[in-house]
A and B are shown apart, each in its own frame.
Chain A
């Protein structure tokens, strides 16, 4: 199972504890997580199910590539980090 970790910045809005999740792609892993933590979905994905513009994922330290379908493969025992661009004012 992959381990999914979230940026600390999201935690003040919605609790996103680190969890182990089944799934062969990034989309599967996120869906598995949101099934347990539904409220987190809208903070990570927009209303069309797309990854929010200023968020990205790293899979075992490598940045994801497919922002449209989230089809990047997630190896067993991978560590997936959901992070945000640091911008704004």
Chain B
């Protein structure tokens, strides 16, 4: 694994040097050995996505390759027997072998088919879930980078759009195995025919030399045919791949419209009122579909050319073989029965070898997709996540830990920010600049400021989602980044403006676990003001939400969803509570209710509240005012109002004038 990741790392730089060294074997800037290494890693990763699947595929393709072979072998033998011996008993057994062998092999293959099909039915979803699980393990700042998102979409796109990447690896392996089997079989099948060239001395007496000379011709022709096949197939694949690669780019646009924008209820209102039809049709056609069509045209026309040459060369080679074999049979060098077998052997050899060559081209091209996959899998991870997942296997553990974990944090001095600065990766300006702030345990702080002044960033820093670029955040005197992540997060309950609910049961949403404490869930719901609603539901707290996952789920209004998110924070029973604009979309009553509950819920807890509604600041002990990443004012609401000409007063007056 390490070695492959090194390859990935140095891939672009070393390309030119390597290609100069050995021009022919390098493809897409990789040598054969590197490609093989990537494929091997791909197979290992595939085994993680669908354990055991590759084995079924192996067996299936070996069996699949053997089935037509028995038939070909048997019919060749039968013909031979008919032409020469005509022993009835022998014919009987040969027939039995032909049909019985096929039958047995088929049954074996169908068993593997069934197993493989079961696995395959999950492949695409399992692949997506595998990727999503990886995103769960990413550090938050990596998750938020647009590059990550794009990489993820590329990886997803390559499998879902044209079955490249892992799916291609899967299919290709099947073909590789089959191709190998067929090559071996072709040589076995043609053994009699090939021997005829150098045949027994007795027959060689009749002009044996000219026959011997024909053998190299046959070999040359077969070789040429295979070579043309490979070359043409390779070219065709390269073009398809090129077209595909560009297609993934266009597909983003197409998918945006078909999957996101057009089916969206809210977007549909805009689309109608603003008559966006023209622009949407134009954009999707121009940026996606027309290019798809052009790419396809290019690909198919190229296919006509390359496949045409391939087909012609194979046909002509076959005719030559027939003529040759026929002539050899005429002159008695081989038995009549060998004619069919010889022809079958040569054509099979050609097709198997060119198939192999094609599939190798495809596999090597596919490595581009695999590389994306590996790049995504190689993104850094939260180290502790792994350990936790491992310990999670025995599920009871979490609960006990959760209870015991709260203990030691209680007696403390609160949260202190020491010269905290933060800059988003790739950004010049500071999102937060030299913030010093202390919030004593049990006190409440309101964070206000204009859009983009750094409030939400600060919240993310507090949640340990970002690491401060400079300075540090202390909890009870200890840098939060030195605490075990789980432990720190367990002391923290946050409700974000853009919280997410999952289509699982209400209780699972509240407890973030399937082994929850029912009473505690109910308590949390009561505190958040949602118990009345849940009690009216037929399944109570185990009622699923929405309709995506389970049937008969319930829908929530904006206010109810917000309350559910708050209940989640309450359930956690943490000492630090963070609310980031929890009421932007709520009506005054719901808003008032939530702030009201906020008072009760955060009683005795350290709390941070971000809000544009300055009215909520009055319920906090202190208010921190941010402008452009700096902390400009700090004090109680009343104190700040007295500071004439400052930011807080400006904000307050802008809003309060309408209510006085």
| A is bound by B | no
